[in-house]
């Protein structure tokens, strides 16, 4: 029997995502001037206020208030009527030095013996139902909000949009797990005041269905475009008025959107958030590494879907083990356990080697903090950073290295493909 599966996304102006982006901007600035920085930074945002807290071990000093304001300004909170505005909001810093008890478990005389920054289990997932090996419902949910933000910044076709927004996409699948059609799309977007609520509701619904949806559909390959039928159930701002939003409407915290950040409910999640953590924290680095494995595994043709788990003990370099689930889609005549053993020989999952393989001690994290950490475009960009004393630095960095298909040949060779 056919079944439905749903994933959601939230915009860069969602309060939890505002917090994530500020935390990751701090990570980037610390790593830009001191690549060996150890950082765990949490952000809280609410009406007119930002609170920064966490632990840092670094040789550099930052103007954390200015960094937070720059992020808020870039997102689009630049008007006083939003009740949260880049220039006027308060920014309180309660960042202090990292615990020496934790640090002694991470740093070692030999860098390759670096221990995991915490215990825990991390998952990576990939499926061949999209070109970027991501679950389709989540991929479309992200694209809806990326395009909505583009419309907001263009301020031409739709002129009343504010930064906060959410989306949700429900896909109908066949018995053999193939997407058949889009069953439902939910879009809730913050907006300016309208003269009347009747005009507001009709105008926003018409614009989302007739302007946003066609722009998203046009960017899909033909087989995905066919899923956009005339029978989609649309729910546009279903509660009605959405003028009060962002950190004024809801308090935002770092790390509260971990399913949006990963696979939209497909696969699994170990529970650890990503944003605000330097790569010695395996919650982040090992989640990227397992995504890298899963994506290359599916792309190589070993299977059409894969879940990869790794786990660690705090302060211990060698992981507890590697687990693979191909959901019965393996094409190589091996059990999932045998596939996992082969992958363990290809990928060194000790934290130091993950950092080196994926170039994680670079300022590459602010870009991850909205619209998902996985399924994004691997590219080289130039980024600039400044210190309170006027010194500045520009760096070319490679973003989303865990999305590279650079191990496909090695996997094919190992599995005789």
Asked whether the beta carbons of 29 and 385 are under 8 A apart, the reply is: yes
Pairing status of strand 252-253 against strand 38-46: antiparallel
Cα 165 to Cα 12: distance, rounded to the nearest angstrom = 8
Alpha-carbon gap, residue 206 to 194, rounded angstroms: 15
- 140, 146, 147, 149: CA torsion to nearest 10: 150
Q: Is the Cβ–Cβ distance between 299 and 408 less than 8 Å? A: yes
- For 3, phi then psi, to 5°, come to -140, 165
Would the annotation count 256 as a binding residue?
Answer: yes
Is residue 345 part of an annotated ligand binding site?
Answer: no
Q: Is 42 annotated as a binding residue?
A: yes
Which among 242, 139, 196, 167 has a CA at the least distance from the CA of 12? 167
Q: Sign (positive/negative) of CA torsion 350, 353, 359, 362?
A: positive
Rounded distance, CA 78 to CA 81, Å? 9
241 annotated among ligand-binding-site residues: yes
Is 235 annotated as ligand-binding?
Answer: no
Starting at the earlier edge strand, list the strands of the sheet with 3-10. Answer: 3-10, 161-173, 179-191, 233-236
The sign one gets for the Cα dihedral 209, 214, 217, 223 is: positive
Is 273 among the annotated ligand-binding positions?
Answer: yes
Q: Is 306 annotated in some ligand binding site?
A: no
79 is in an annotated binding site: no
Find out whether 164 is annotated in a ligand binding site: yes
Would the annotation count 16 as a binding residue? yes
120 membership: H or E segment, kind and range:
strand 120-127
Q: Is 221 annotated as a binding residue?
A: no
Phi/psi zone of residue 22: left (φ > 0), alpha (ψ -120 to 50 degrees), beta?
alpha
Q: What angle do CA 59, 60, 62 make, to 5 degrees?
A: 155
156 has binding-site annotation: no
98 is in an annotated binding site: yes
- Do 66 and 25 form a contact (C-beta atoms < 8 A)? no
157 is in an annotated binding site: no
What is the rounded distance in angstroms from the CA atom of residue 107 to the CA atom of residue 111? 7
CA distance 266 to 180: 17
For 381-386, the CB contacts below 8 A with 24+ separation are 383/28, 383/32, 385/28, 385/29, 385/32, 385/33
Annotated binding site for K(+): 42
Binding residue numbers for L-methionine? 55, 98, 250, 281
**Residue stretches of the annotated binding site for Mg(2+):** 16
Known binding residues for ATP = 14, 164-166, 241-242, 250, 256-257, 273, 277
Residue numbers belonging to the annotated binding site:
14, 16, 42, 55, 98, 164-166, 241-242, 250, 256-257, 273, 277, 281
């Amino acid at each position: 029997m056919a079944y439905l599966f749903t994933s959601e996304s939230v915009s860069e102006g969602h309060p939890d995502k505002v917090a994530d982006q500020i935390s990751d901007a701090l990570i980037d600035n610390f790593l830009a001037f001191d690549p060996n920085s150890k950082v765990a930074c949490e952000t809280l945002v609410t009406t007119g206020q930002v609170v920064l807290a966490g632990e840092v071990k670094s040789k550099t000093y930052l103007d954390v208030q200015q960094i937070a304001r720059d992020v808020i300004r870039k997102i689009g909170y630049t008007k006083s009527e939003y009740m949260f505005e880049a220039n006027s909001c308060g920014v309180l810093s309660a960042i202090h030095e990292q615990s020496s008890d934790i640090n002694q478990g991470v740093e070692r005389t030999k860098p390759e013996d670096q221990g995991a920054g915490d215990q825990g289990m991390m998952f990576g997932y990939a499926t061949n139902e999209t070109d970027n090996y991501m679950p389709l419902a989540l991929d479309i949910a992200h694209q809806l909000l990326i395009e909505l933000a583009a419309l907001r910044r263009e301020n031409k076709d739709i002129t009343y949009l504010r930064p906060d927004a959410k989306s949700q996409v429900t896909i109908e699948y066949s018995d053999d797990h193939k997407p058949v059609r889009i069953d439902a799309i939910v879009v809730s977007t913050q907006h300016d005041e309208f003269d009347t609520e009747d005009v507001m509701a009709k105008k926003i619904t018409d614009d989302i269905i007739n302007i946003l949806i066609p722009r998203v559909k046009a960017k899909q390959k033909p087989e995905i475009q066919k899923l956009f039928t005339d029978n989609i159930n649309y729910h546009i701002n279903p509660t009605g008025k959405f003028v009060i939003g962002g950190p004024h409407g809801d308090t935002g915290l770092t790390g509260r959107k971990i399913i949006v950040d990963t696979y939209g409910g497909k696969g699994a999640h170990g529970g650890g958030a990503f944003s605000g953590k330097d790569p010695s924290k395996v919650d982040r680095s090992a989640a990227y590494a397992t995504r890298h494995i899963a994506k290359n595994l599916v792309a190589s043709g070993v299977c059409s879907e894969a879940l990869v788990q790794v786990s660690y003990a705090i302060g211990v370099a060698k992981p507890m083990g590697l687990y693979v689930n191909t959901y019965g889609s393996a094409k190589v005549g091996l059990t999932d356990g045998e596939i996992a053993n082969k992958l363990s020989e290809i990928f060194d999952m000790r934290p130091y080697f993950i950092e080196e393989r994926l170039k994680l001690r670079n300022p590459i994290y602010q870009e991850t903090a909205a619209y998902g950490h996985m399924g994004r475009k691997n590219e080289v960009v130039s980024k600039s950073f400044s210190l309170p004393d006027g010194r500045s630095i520009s760096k070319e960095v490679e973003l989303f290295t865990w999305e590279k298909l650079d191990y496909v040949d090695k996997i094919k060779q190992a599995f005789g493909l």
